[in-house]
Structures are given as C-alpha cells and as structure tokens.
Copies of this chain bind each other. A is one copy, B any other.
Amino acid sequence: MPVLDFYFEFASTYSYPAAMRIGALAQAAGVSLRWKPFLLGPIFKAQGWDTSPFNLYPGKGRYMWRDVARICARLELPLRRPDPFPQGTLLAARVAHVGLAEGWGENFCRAVYAAEFGEGRAVGEAAVVRELLHALGVAPEPVLARASSPEIKARLRAVTEEAERAGVFGAPSFVTPDGELFWGQDRMADALAWAIRPQAVPT
C-alpha cells in the first residue's frame, strides 16, 4: 500500500475535521497513513508571525471560523472555540508521539481534537491531557514522564524539521511517496488519489 504522510498541528482548526476523517478515507482508498503531529510555531516564526495568522489577519480569522463551522455542520461534527485560541500544543504533540510509538496515538489525536474543537476545552493544560489519556485507558503519569524525555522532544523536533523540508507551511498537510505536497483539509481526497496514482502535470 502507498504511504501518505499526514502532518497536523493540534492548534489548527482545519486539522480537526481532517484528523476525524482521514483514517476512514485512507482505509477506503487503500492508502497507509503516517500520523505526524508537528509544531507550526517555528514555521510561523520563520515567516515573522508570533501567533496564528488567523489572529494576525482578523478578516481571514472571521472567514476561517465561519468556514470551519460550515465544514463541521456538513460533516456533523460539533464545533466550539477553545479559549484562548490558539491553544499551546507542545505537551499534546509530545504525548501524541509517545502514543504513536505505543499504539494508542491515533485515538489520542482524535480525542485531543474532539475535546479542543468539539467541546472547546483547554487542551493546552496538562490536567486536560491527563484526563484524555485516562479516558483512553492509558495511565497518564508514565506517559507524561516519557513525553518530556530527550527522545520524544527530539522526535517532535525532527518531525517539525522534516515537515519544513517537505515544504509544509500550514496544517493540515499531506505528502505523498513521491514528495507531492497538498495543503488543506479540502485536499485530502486529492492527496489520497495522488498517493495511489500520481497525476501528470506538464512543467
């Protein structure tokens, strides 16, 4: 099966519907997924942004929230804004990397998004992350300890750098086996189709 890299950031609104659906869509398409939580912060900082562009450009932000509401309504996903937006997602991203190595990572990722954007919860807080782990039947304390280990910190940094090298500048993004980059939850179907059969594009 072809492999598609799925790059996402827990603070990213459009990554929410992507994360909730991509597993089923990839399975139906016959594509294998690699879940790659990364941090947009360093990438945004390199562009001179110290917060989400949706906060820096209010018109774009207003549109984004309305657009996400339309998308979620169509997909029958609940939507509630977390406060503050964006949430700090360093801890959740590190915990996700622990989980992806231990087999409960994808469920954790979906649980983070459902809490953050479905219920508007402050997933930036360690107490909320603990609670989400608990609900998944995972003992929180050893996971939080591992999440702050040098290995996991290095892993998150490496995935973020790998995303940058692949040309990623926003989330969600998808990279096919031949290095083709797709940006946006509305390009998920295109990315999956390309993973199966690359499209001919005249240069």
A positions within 8 Å CB-CB of B: 47, 57, 59-60, 62-63, 66-67, 69-70, 73-74, 79, 167, 169-170, 181, 183, 186, 190, 199-203
User: Complex Cα distance A74/B70, Å?
Assistant: 26
Contacts of A74 on B, CB cut-off 8 Å? Answer: 199
The answer to whether B200 touches A60, judged by C-beta atoms less than 8 angstroms apart, is no
A60: chain B residues within 8 A (beta carbon): 169-170
Pick from B57, B190, B200, B203: contact of A169, CB under 8 Å: B57
Give how many copies assemble into the complex. 2
Q: Can you name 23 A-B pairs with beta carbons within 8 Å? A: A47-B57, A47-B59, A57-B169, A59-B167, A59-B169, A60-B170, A62-B167, A63-B167, A63-B169, A63-B181, A66-B181, A66-B201, A67-B183, A69-B201, A69-B203, A70-B190, A70-B199, A70-B201, A73-B200, A73-B201, A73-B202, A74-B199, A79-B202
User: Contact at A186–B186, with CB atoms within 8 Å?
Assistant: yes
Given contacts A47-B57, A57-B47, A57-B169, contact A63 B183 (CB under 8 A): yes
Q: Which residues of B contact A63 (CB under 8 A)?
A: 167, 169, 181, 183
A47-B59, A73-B201 known, 11 other contacts, Cβ within 8 Å: A47-B57, A57-B169, A59-B167, A60-B169, A62-B167, A63-B169, A69-B202, A70-B199, A73-B200, A73-B202, A186-B186
